[in-house]
Each structure stands twice: as structure tokens, then as C-alpha cells.
């Protein structure tokens, strides 16, 4: 199994982070790793979404768990390799929230997929932080 975790702290509230997470079509506004994205239903457990990174083939992910203001987990399976990403929101105290992406990858291409999947997480989290704190 291949694992990785990245996190940032922000002055945004968990509810503000959640608002951006729950707006799946809006992810493109702060995640440069998304060329196209479409969700097929409400932002709840069991719903699927299609995402296409720039220059790559699209893939389908499934929301495994969704907990308002606390985070969500999605799963993508490609050719027998399973990628699970936990997007967590944790209140640290007044005016401080931690946002973390924790990834577990298993299967035949786990070592290959790991760096591809998580390589932009620091940039994505910094862009999320900027959007939350500056509104742009």
C-alpha cells in the first residue's frame, strides 16, 4: 500500500471549507489539476463524479463517505488499482482550521499512481487556502 498525507491550516471556518468542498463543479476554480468535472447527483455517499486532469484521460470516482463540515472520502479504481482520498476538515480553535488530504493507494500500480495522484496536493491545498482567505 502507498500512503501520503498533506495538510494546511487556514483562518476559514469548517463551514467555509465545506462550502467549497460541496461545490464539486467549483473545484476547477481552485484546483489547477482539473480540466473538466461533473457530479452525477447530490454531494452524498454513493454519488459518482467524472474528473479529467489536463492532458489525461477522464476517470470516475465514488463518494464513499460525506460528513458535513468534517470532510469526505472518495474512491477511484483504475485497472485494479484503488485510490482512496480522505479530505478532512478539523477545527483547531477560534479562527484556525486544518484541512488535510490523506491518500491510500493499493493494487498493482500503487507505487506508480502515488506520486501522480498526490504530486499537486501542496499546490491544491495552498490554492484552496488562498480562495478561502482572500475570496479569490
Domain ranges of the chain: 2-134
Q: pLDDT digit string (tens) for 57-116? A: 999 999 999 999 999 999 999 999 999 999 999 999 889 999 999 999 999 999 999 999
CATH fold for domain 2-134: Alpha-D-Glucose-1,6-Bisphosphate; Chain A, domain 4 (3.30.530)
Average pLDDT in the chain? 95
Give the other-Cβ count within 10 Å of 98's Cβ: 15
Q: Which of 81, 75, 72 is nearest to 101 (CA)?
A: 72
CA–CA dist 58, 64 (Å, integer): 19
pLDDT for 53 equals 92
pLDDT for 135 equals 64
- Name 108's bridge partners: none
pTM to 2 decimal places: 0.94
- Name 131's bridge partners: none
Amino acid at each position: 500500500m502507498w500512503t501520503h498525507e498533506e495538510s494546511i491550516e487556514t483562518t476559514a471556518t469548517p463551514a467555509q471549507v465545506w462550502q467549497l468542498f460541496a461545490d464539486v463543479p467549483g473545484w476547477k476554480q481552485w484546483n489547477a489539476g482539473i480540466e473538466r468535472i461533473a457530479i452525477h447527483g447530490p454531494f452524498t455517499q454513493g454519488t459518482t463524479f467524472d474528473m479529467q486532469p489536463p492532458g489525461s484521460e477522464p476517470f470516475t470516482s465514488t463518494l464513499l463517505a460525506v460528513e458535513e463540515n468534517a470532510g469526505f472520502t472518495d474512491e477511484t479504481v483504475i485497472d485494479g488499482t484503488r485510490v482512496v482520498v480522505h479530505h478532512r476538515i478539523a477545527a483547531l480553535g477560534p479562527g484556525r482550521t486544518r484541512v488535510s488530504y490523506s491518500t491510500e493507494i493499493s493494487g498493482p500500480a500503487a507505487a506508480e499512481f502515488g506520486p501522480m495522484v498526490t504530486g499537486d496536493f501542496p499546490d491544491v491545498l495552498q490554492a484552496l487556502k488562498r480562495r478561502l482567505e482572500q475570496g479569490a
